[in-house]
């Protein structure tokens, strides 16, 4: 797939498929792209997490695409880690006169269209901006409510206080981290943090 570096004249339809883990299968996306008439040699693919920055298939595709081409995907989310990243990429492609077409979104999008496809894409951009605004407002409201109530803001304690106190007691009795983890069920990574919180006081008492 996507190994021929020669680029014929005239606009091409180039496919892109991605799955988020190596255990997932690309077959469904590849079948849909093939059914849309895209030859195997014009389909690029990645088996990478959306959180992974390096996506060699997408990088190769973007380097190959030329003005007048259209990149076809199963759904737009195959392009990136979040809606904003997807929109940025589609806008960049639009600036290079490279179209984008999705096949299985609830409202399939074709940025080359002047009608519903273009309207749908603009709506997605609007929803992305609304999502960003609403998220910021919810976070600000939650902070204000917590501060007004005098509550601690931040990550909640993952383990019950009685277990943490038991772990500290075991530590004072000379138990190893492995023994404490086994008796309390608290992972060693968390124990390091909980036990370190009392070290300054302990050292002060002994001075």
Q: Cite the active site residues.
A: 20
Provide the phi-psi class of 126: left if phi over 0, else alpha when psi is between -120 and 50, else beta. Answer: alpha
Question: Tokens 């809606």 label which residue?
Answer: 83
Are 51 and 81 spatial neighbours (Cβ–Cβ below 8 Å)? yes
CB–CB of 13/72 below 8 Å?
yes
Q: At what angle do helices 188-196 and 161-172 cross, to 10 degrees?
A: 80
71 exposure class (CB count in 10 Å sphere: 0-12, 13-18, 19+): buried
- Neighbouring-strand partners of residue 46: 18
């Amino acid at each position: 797939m996507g190994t021929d570096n020669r680029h014929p004249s005239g606009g091409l339809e180039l496919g892109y498929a991605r799955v988020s883990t190596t255990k997932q299968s690309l077959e469904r996306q590849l079948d849909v792209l093939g059914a849309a008439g895209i030859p195997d040699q014009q389909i690029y693919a990645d088996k990478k997490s959306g959180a992974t920055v390096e996506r060699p298939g997408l990088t190769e595709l973007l380097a190959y695409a030329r003005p007048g081409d259209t990149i076809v995907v199963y759904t737009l989310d195959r392009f990136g880690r979040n809606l904003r990243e997807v929109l940025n990429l589609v806008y960049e492609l639009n600036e290079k006169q490279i179209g984008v077409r999705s096949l299985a979104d609830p409202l399939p999008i074709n940025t080359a269209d002047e009608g519903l496809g273009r309207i749908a894409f603009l709506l997605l951009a609007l929803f992305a901006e609304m999502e960003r605004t609403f998220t910021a407002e919810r976070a600000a409201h939650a902070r204000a409510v917590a501060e007004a109530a005098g509550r601690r803001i931040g990550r909640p304690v993952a383990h019950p206080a009685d277990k943490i106190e038991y772990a500290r007691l075991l530590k004072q009795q000379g138990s190893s981290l492995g023994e404490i983890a086994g008796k309390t069920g608290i992972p060693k990574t968390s124990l390091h943090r909980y036990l370190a919180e009392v070290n300054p006081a302990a050292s002060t008492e002994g001075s």
